[in-house]
Amino acid sequence: MRRGITFPDHVGLMPRRSGGVRVLVVDDYPDAADSMAMLLRLGGYDVDVAVDGMAALQQARVKPPDIVLLDISMPGMSGYEVARKLRAMFQNKVRLVAITAHGFEEDRQRCLAAGFDLHLVKPADPSAVENLVRTR
């Protein structure tokens, strides 16, 4: 008889195959970025983190992402500007998701106008984010 604790896969603690989806998480709060990245890595995704707009653009050039989870309010280069630049670099080959504290309808419209595909309000539901990444 085997000893020790085992968890069935349905508990959700075992890494799942992600199909090679590359995710870039961009947030100027390292704890928020790292937490989101950790959750996605547990799901088996290939995740990189950037804490400002310039780092996000550099990372995207080196390792093009399939999906970018991007904060809006960052010092230096805003998420809107990063989204416009990423959209110019990758056209529709990347899914851009705003994850922001800005939750009014005009904020959502501004995100869409900047090139985002989706707008989520913080705190974003981790299962909803994982579902968005999985169905990219």
Banded model confidence at residue 72, pLDDT cuts 50, 70, 90:
very high
HSE-up of residue 17 (Cα within 13 Å, Cβ side): 1
Kindly state the average pLDDT of the residues 89-100: 93
Banded model confidence at residue 130, pLDDT cuts 50, 70, 90:
confident
7-57 pLDDT, tens digit per residue, is: 344 334 434 445 689 999 999 999 999 999 999 999 899 999 999 999 999
**How many other C-beta atoms lie within 10 A of the C-beta of residue 129?**
21
**What confidence score (pLDDT) does residue 15 get?**
45
Is it true that domain 19-69+90-101+109-136 has CATH number 3.30.365.10? no
**What confidence score (pLDDT) does residue 102 get?**
82
Percent of the chain with pLDDT over 90: 62
- Give me the long-range contacts of 129-135 (CB less than 8 A, separation at least 24): 129/36, 129/39, 129/40, 129/69, 129/97, 129/99, 130/39, 130/40, 130/43, 132/67, 132/95, 132/97, 133/18, 133/21, 133/23, 133/40, 133/43, 133/45, 133/67, 134/18, 134/21, 134/43
**What confidence score (pLDDT) does residue 19 get?**
64
pLDDT higher than threshold 80 for residue 77? yes
- 77: which residues sit within 8 A by CB, 6+ positions away? 52, 53, 54
The pTM of this model reads 0.84
